[in-house]
């Protein structure tokens, strides 16, 4: 289902999240008929929110599932200033695929589970219920060369939101050496005005593969709280990036990045590079033995002591 900032059902949900209200009152506040209120209330109920009605005192939310379209959309619209639309799926093939097909920027695609969750290079992302799976589309006022920084700051936003998290270059988020989040960013559209898709998968309470970890193993928190925190931090970092403050973000990224200071092997489309990861360059590349590398799969080999 699709929601915008003006969707009647979302507006009513937000009113009822505050307090009990009668149909008449809701109608007055939103400038709509009682019949329209009633119709929207039914829609909210159909989407998993239990609403109780008590005569003249009206409607109140009594119980809702831990994750539902209205909770997700309220969090998203509150945190992301640029956002226009939210698409919500209980199950979908891949939120990145939906984003690509839709084509427009300023949209969030959110799924409770994915049947064909994608990693990089055609790999699979396990996406059973209980995890966070979403894609954001953006058309940022940045030059083409700066777009890769967006992926880095998305990873940084997740790492800054989870206690004890570290980054593995380019944008895996790790806790206790195990992967808790992966990011798949894609660029499409015209070269002059590309749309960037940032797909984020975070293990929260879902079953995870070997060598992976979920948030609830180290933090007592629920899915929507993680979502709220990540979006808030992403908006903060995104504003810094667009405002020309990349330098601050670069320093922060380098602090959080466990890859720096290790001997690594990076597999790039043009070959393999083995060497010491020395730092993050001003343009967002990682520096390996003095050479800049922009993308690839990275394997940590060992720590090294600087001489
Ligand atoms: C990634 O790829 O880490 C990017 C994952 C992006 C997933 C999000 S979910 C929302 C959006 N919609 C999508 O369809 N995708 C994005 P990569 O670096 O290639 O890592 C993939 C590898 O991670 C796999 O080959 C597995 O080894 C491992 N893996 C698969 N599922 C995992 C999980 N849930 N947790 C941790 N590791 C996983």
Q: Quick one: average pLDDT of 176-203?
A: 93
CA of 232 to the centre of ligand 1 (A): 22
Look at residue 307 and tell me if it is in a domain.
no
Considering the domain architecture, whether residues 73 and 60 belong to the same structural domain is answered as: no
**140-98-170 Cα angle (round to 5):** 55
Tell me: the pLDDT tens digits for 59-94? Answer: 999 988 889 999 999 999 999 999 999 999 999 999
Considering the domain architecture, whether residues 93 and 209 belong to the same structural domain is answered as: yes
Considering the domain architecture, whether residues 288 and 180 belong to the same structural domain is answered as: no
Average pLDDT over all residues of the chain: 94
Considering the domain architecture, whether residues 74 and 42 belong to the same structural domain is answered as: no
Considering the domain architecture, whether residues 227 and 270 belong to the same structural domain is answered as: no
Considering the domain architecture, whether residues 99 and 199 belong to the same structural domain is answered as: yes
Considering the domain architecture, whether residues 84 and 221 belong to the same structural domain is answered as: yes
To the question of pTM greater than 0.85 for the whole model, the response is: yes
Asked if the model's pLDDT at residue 307 lies above 60, the reply is no
Tell me: the pLDDT tens digits for 262-306? Answer: 999 999 988 999 999 999 999 889 999 999 999 899 999 977 655
Considering the domain architecture, whether residues 80 and 203 belong to the same structural domain is answered as: yes
Considering the domain architecture, whether residues 153 and 43 belong to the same structural domain is answered as: no
Considering the domain architecture, whether residues 246 and 273 belong to the same structural domain is answered as: no
Which of 28, 47, 64 represents a domain boundary (last residue)? 64
Mutate to test the pocket of ligand 1, among 99, 112, 114, 125 (most ligand atoms within 8 A of CB): 125
Tell me: the pLDDT tens digits for 108-155? Answer: 999 999 999 999 999 999 999 999 999 999 999 888 888 889 999 999
Tell me the residue range of the domain where 79 lies: 69-256
Residues 6+ apart with CB under 8 A from 85: 2, 3, 4, 104, 106, 107, 108
Look at residue 306 and tell me if it is in a domain.
no
Considering the domain architecture, whether residues 9 and 158 belong to the same structural domain is answered as: no
CATH number at residue 49: 1.10.10.10
Considering the domain architecture, whether residues 219 and 280 belong to the same structural domain is answered as: no
* Ligand 1 atom closest to the CA of 114, numbered from 1: 14
Residue 177: Cβ within 10 Å count: 11
Closest of 164, 167, 161, 169 to residue 132, by C-alpha: 161
Question: In the chain, what percentage of residues exceed pLDDT 70?
Answer: 99
Query: What's the domain count of the chain?
Result: 3
Q: Which residues line ligand 1 (CB under 6 A)?
A: 94-96, 114, 117-121, 123-126, 133-135, 172, 179, 182-184, 199-201, 203, 208-209, 212
Contact 52/60 with Cβ under 8 angstroms? yes
Look at residue 213 and tell me if it is in a domain.
yes
């Amino acid at each position: 289902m699709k929601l915008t900032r003006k969707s009647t059902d979302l507006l009513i949900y937000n009113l009822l999240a505050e307090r009990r209200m009668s149909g008449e009152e809701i109608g007055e506040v939103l400038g709509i008929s009682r019949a329209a209120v009633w119709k929207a209330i039914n829609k909210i109920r159909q989407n998993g929110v239990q609403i109780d009605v008590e005569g003249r005192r009206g409607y109140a939310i009594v119980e809702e599932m831990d994750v539902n379209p209205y909770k997700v959309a309220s969090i998203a619209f509150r945190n992301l200033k640029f956002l226009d639309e939210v698409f919500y799926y209980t199950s979908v093939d891949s939120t990145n695929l939906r984003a690509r097909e839709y084509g427009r920027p300023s949209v969030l695609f959110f799924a409770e589970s994915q049947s064909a969750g994608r990693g990089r290079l055609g790999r699979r992302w396990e996406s059973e219920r209980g995890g966070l799976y979403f894609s954001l589309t953006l058309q940022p006022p940045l030059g083409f060369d700066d777009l890769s920084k967006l992926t880095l700051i998305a990873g940084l936003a997740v790492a800054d939101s989870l206690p004890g998290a570290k980054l593995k270059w380019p944008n895996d988020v790790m806790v206790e050496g195990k992967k808790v989040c992966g990011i798949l960013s894609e660029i499409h559209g015209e070269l002059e005005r590309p749309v960037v898709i940032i797909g984020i998968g975070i293990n929260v309470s879902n079953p995870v593969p070997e060598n992976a970890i979920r948030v609830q193993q180290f933090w007592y928190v629920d899915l929507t709280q993680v979502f709220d925190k990540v979006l808030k931090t992403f908006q903060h970092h995104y504003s810094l990036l667009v405002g020309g403050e990349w330098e601050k973000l670069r320093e922060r990224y380098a602090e959080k990045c466990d890859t720096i200071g290790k001997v690594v092997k990076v597999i790039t489309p043009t070959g393999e590079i083995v060497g010491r990861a020395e730092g993050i360059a001003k343009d967002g590349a990682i520096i390996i033995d003095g050479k800049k590398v922009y993308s690839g799969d990275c394997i940590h080999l060992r720590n090294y002591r600087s001489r």
